[in-house]
Structure 1
Amino acid sequence: MAQTCAPLPTPGTNGLPVGPAAADSGKVAEGDDSRARLERLKVEFEANAARPLPATAVPGATKAWRDHRRVIKAAIGLLLLIVLGWMPVRALLQATSTEAVVNAPIISLRAPIEGEIEQGPLAVTVGSELIPGQTILRIVNSRADHSRLADLRRLIDQIGNDREGILARIAELTALHDDLGNQVRIFQDGRVRQLTARAAELGSELTVARINRDTAAKALARVQPMVGSGSITAATLEKYTREAHVTAETYLTIEHRLAALNVELQAARQGTFIGDSYNDRPRSSQRVDEVSQRLAELKADLRERDARLATLRKELAEEAKLYEEKSAAKLVAPVASRVWEMLTAPGESVVRGQDLVRLLDCSAVVVTAAVGESVYNRLHIGQSAEFRLRGDTAAYAGRIISLTGMSAANANFAIQASSLVKEPFRVTVRLPALDLANECKVGRTGRVTFGE
């Protein structure tokens, strides 16, 4: 719709003044002209609005599409309304916590002995991550009692010296025993040879006596028939008879002496010496017995010293271990953890049982949550739960391990349940997945959603 507007007059044209008075009059004329144009525009707008629109033919397809588009828009709007409305409704229907915080047990390490604190090989401070067995601090007690240890060492040295003396005496007596044994053997060999020679001598004498006996017996047999004829006198017969008896008795005497000598020889060969001027054993043999008895006593003493030494060395090892435990000790991390609090410093003197370090047990991370009464009454031990850190979309699955309600149950956790103040009912959830993540996120807040 075309609209025509009259051109505005400009100063200096159509006879309008150009000076100050003309400028003032021009402003008034210009304001009247603007109001006139506004009036004209208003009249033309009302005329155009009142004019009927020309009838145009709308195709059927376009009209149908326009109707369908309205339905689609309505359906989309309804769907958005349902979705956006369901989310808060669903949140209201789910059992969730009002506040929740990542928590972990606290491990308190106390001084096992009294002494002075020394820094470990690695400088451990608050927040340091520790592996199992890692040294945190050392405690050195320079005033530990070691008198029992010194007594045991002195006693062991004394018994060791006694043992050396016994060994020396055993060595000396063993040499003497061997020497006396050689003397006994030499004496026995000489005595056996002596008796053997005497036996041979008596054997020869016995042979001579047997010859003399036989000769005398034959001579007596020859002269006996002569007595009747008177060839010999009675005195001669008595002489031959006497000689026959003497030689026979001499033979028997030598035979008995030889038998006795053989008995003595046989005993000498067996180590027993038989004689009129000495006992059954020589002095050297008796000394061998005395030395053997003394050796047996010394060996018994040596065995007793060895047994005593073994017992004392065992006691010494135990006492040394006990002294080592009393004189120095290490504080080590029992599990994978993080230093939560240091209660001492190098150079400080501590007493036994004093708290030194508190650690976070990162292997047993839990979530402490506060819930309302209605939610709490629907929960039970072992119920599934899901935790999300605030500002994080990752979900960690777990299960309820404790329901303490409104009671202020003591728990050795880094963050006490009493610090959650929005609701009075407390729930503890175990999160194995958070343990596997190997992150000790104690203090991080989030939200727990409980399963059915």
Structure 2
Amino acid sequence: MIWNHRITRILVGILLFALAIVLLLPGLTGFTSLDGTVNARFAIVNAPIDGEVAETPPKVGARVLAGAPLALIHNARVNRAILTSLQADHMTAVEHVAALKRERDELVRLRDQLGARMEVFTRTTVADLQRQVEILNKRVKVSKAQDNVAQVDFDRRLALEAKGILSTKMVESARAAWEAAGGELEISGLTVAQLEQKLEAVRKGVFVFGDGQNDVPYSRQRQDEVIVRISDLNTRIAENETRGAQVQMQLIEEENRVRSLTSASDPSPFDGVVWSSNIVNGSNVILNTELMRILDCSDLFVDILVPEVDYQEIYPGLTAEVRLLGGGESFKGVVLSVRGSSAVAEKDTLAANQPETAKRNDRIRVGLAPSALNTDYANFCQVGRSVQVRLPKPNIRIWNWIESLWFSIS
């Protein structure tokens, strides 16, 4: 029989040896994982305000662009009490300022009228005093002439007395007349000086007329009162304008707040796919309610499990080859992180489940290089697909394998 031939037995032995090599070679040259899953992170979009969804949101599986509106929410039940109160306060301040300005303008006109009347009164008084000074100056001249005449008469009579022509009584009469003329001249001079002082005072705005009279006329007193009132009104106008400006700033802030609570739109944080949606057109939502989840296809990765005994052979930066289960095309990858079997892995923001195991396996995360998977939005960028991952061994260390085997059985 052919099976009894030596050559046949040799060929069978060679085939079995080659088969053993083929079966052992992948394990000696690298690590292969069959439990990998294409994974990605998603962003949770929450409701920014309370309200009702006003437009139909993107459906699950729809592609969205960064910044595109995902959900438009309207709220017709916003509390506007504070806004109304601020508007009333601002309107009150504005109207008060307008009323104060009208009153001030009227007082300014009254002040100008009093000023004009005061100017006329001052000019009239100055002119009257000037005429009185002129009249008194004429009287001074007359008194001076009379004084000279009285002096001449006195000197003449005194000389006649010395000759015995006139009596002493007539001389004394002439002396009295001369002294009276001199006194009249002095009185006229003092009166002129007094009027000139009054004239100078009037030119300076001070009116001195005598006892029981004010130093200024009624127009000036009224004008001073009006000026004080105008100053007070200016202060109140400034206070109300400041108050109005402050209320205006508060009003702008409150309007912005009410506007932000009345209508809001949630934009997409990045280019991606709607992974899940909890709303439809007309849905009522409250603040921070989850609306939808957006899948980030720009950063795809694969989580696999590798026996912990090979921890030292795998490190971040190690290249990998990834193949979709059932597919013929392979994709390049690189190890992103290596975690021990007891490490707590992130789960809340991952779109696909991570592989679970009860054995001592390291968790290896392999990032996928940019490929057609990142733009396959119609198929959710293949997230959730099972993959095979091949990690090469830098060196075939048979002796290390023997030592680890001996350590495990000793």
**TM-score normalised by L of structure 1:** 0.74
Shift of 1:178: 1.0
Conservation of the 8 A alpha-carbon contact between 1:402 and 1:429: no
CA contact (8 A) 1:386 1:449 kept: yes
Structure 1 residues 92 and 156, CA gap change in structure 2 (3 angstroms): same
SS in structure 2 at match of 1:309: helix
The Cα of 1:185 is off from its aligned counterpart by 1.5
Aligned-partner SS, 2:66: coil
CA distance in 2, matches of 1:374, 1:315: 67
Q: Which moved more, 1:255-264 or 1:197-206?
A: 197-206
Give the distance between the partners of 1:149 and 1:404, measured in 2 at CA.
58
Residue identity in the other structure for 1:197: R
Q: Any unmatched runs of 5+ in structure 2?
A: 1-13, 395-410
Tell me the distance in 1 between the aligned counterparts of 2:65 and 2:184: 112
Structure 1: how far apart are the matches of 2:369 and 2:160?
146
**Alpha-carbon distance, 1:292 to partner:** 1.0
1:430 aligns with one of 355, 363, 367: 367
Structure 1 distance, partners of 2:334, 2:148, is 132
Give how far 1:415 is off.
Answer: 0.7
CA contact (8 A) 1:362 1:435 kept: no
| C-alpha distance after superposition, 1:113-154 (max 9, x if no partner) | 22111226xx52222222222111011121121111111112
Amino acid at match of 2:201: A
Aligned match of 1:74: none
| Contact 2:34–2:387 (8 Å) recurs in 1 | no
Indicate conservation of the 8 Å contact 1:340/1:358, yes or no: yes
* Greater shift in the superposed pair: 405-414 or 350-359: 405-414
The DSSP-based 3-state class of the residue aligned with 2:314 is coil
Answer yes or no: is the 8 Å Cα contact 1:94–1:449 preserved in 2: yes
On the 8 A contact 1:405/1:427 being kept in 2, the answer is no
Whether the 8 Å CA contact 2:49–2:286 is kept in 1: the answer is yes
Whole-Å Cα distance in 1 between the matches of residues 278 and 243 of structure 2? Answer: 47
Equivalent in 346, 349, 352 of residue 415 of structure 1:
352
Specify whether residues 90 and 404 from structure 1 end up closer, same or farther in structure 2 by C-alpha distance, changes over 3 A only. closer
What are the ranges of 5 or more consecutive residues in structure 1 without an aligned counterpart? 1-77
Count of residue correspondences: 369
Alignment map for 1:30-429 (pairs within 5 Å): 89=25, 92-119=28-55, 124-276=58-210, 278-380=213-315, 382-390=316-324, 391=327, 393=329, 395-401=331-337, 403=339, 405-407=341-343, 409-411=345-347, 412-418=349-355, 424-429=361-366
Specify the structure having the higher radius of gyration (Cα): 1
The higher-RCO structure (CA 8 Å, 6+ apart) is 2
- Aligned partner letter, 1:297: D
Deviation at 1:175, TM superposition (A): 0.8
Residues in 2 aligned to 1:92 and 1:203: alpha-carbon distance in whole angstroms: 141
1:350 offset after TM fit, Å? 1.6
Letter in 1 for 2:100: I
Q: Distance in 2 between matches of 1:360 and 1:376?
A: 31
Alignment check: 8 A CA contact 1:114 1:351 kept: yes
Cα distance in 2, alignment partners of residues 139 and 379 from structure 1: 49
2:338 and 2:362 in contact (8 A); partners too: no
Gap change, CA 1:124 and 1:421, over 3 Å in 2:
farther
Alignment partners' CA distance in 2, 1:199 and 1:432: 114
Indicate how the Cα distance of structure 1 residues 109 and 197 shifts in structure 2: closer, same or farther if over 3 A, else same.
Answer: same
Taking the aligned partners of 2:369 and 2:180, their CA distance within structure 1 comes to 127
Answer yes or no: is the 8 Å Cα contact 2:323–2:329 preserved in 1: yes
Rounded Cα–Cα distance in structure 1 between residues aligned with 2:283 and 2:118:
78
User: Do the aligned partners of residues 431 and 215 (structure 1) sit closer, same or farther apart at CA in structure 2, a change above 3 Å counting?
Assistant: farther
Checking the alignment, whether the CA contact within 8 Å between 1:417 and 1:426 is kept in structure 2 is: no
**1:447 Cα offset (Å):** 3.9
Q: What amino acid does structure 2 have at the position aligned with 1:443?
A: G
In structure 2, relative to structure 1, the CA distance for the partners of 1:364 and 1:349 (3 Å cut) is same
Secondary structure at the counterpart of residue 366 of structure 2 = strand
* Identity across matched positions, percent: 24
CA distance in 1, matches of 2:186, 2:340: 124
Deviations 1:363-398 (A, max 9, x none): 333322232333345333x33333434345564343
Query: C-alpha distance in 1, partners of 2:138/2:391?
Result: 129
TM-score by length of 2: 0.81
The aligned amino acid for 1:353 is: N
Supply the distance in 1 between the matched residues of 2:214 and 2:118 (Cα, whole angstroms).
14
> Which residue of structure 2 aligns with residue 443 of structure 1?
384
- By how many angstroms is 1:303 displaced? 1.0
CA shift, 1:172, in A, is 1.0
Q: Distance in 2 between matches of 1:386 and 1:259?
A: 121
1-side partners of 2:281 and 2:69: how far apart?
A: 14
Change (3 A) 1:262 1:157: same
1:273-298 Cα shifts (integer Å, max 9, x gaps)? 11115211111101111111111111
Contact kept in structure 1, 2:304 and 2:355, CA below 8 Å = no
Whether contact under 8 Å (1:385, 1:398) holds in the other structure is: yes
Provide the alpha-carbon RMSD of the alignment: 2.9
CA–CA distance in structure 2, aligned partners of residues 253 and 194 of structure 1: 20
Distance 1:402 1:292, change over 3 A: farther
Instruction: Give the Cα separation in 1 of the matches to 2:382 and 2:108.
Output: 80
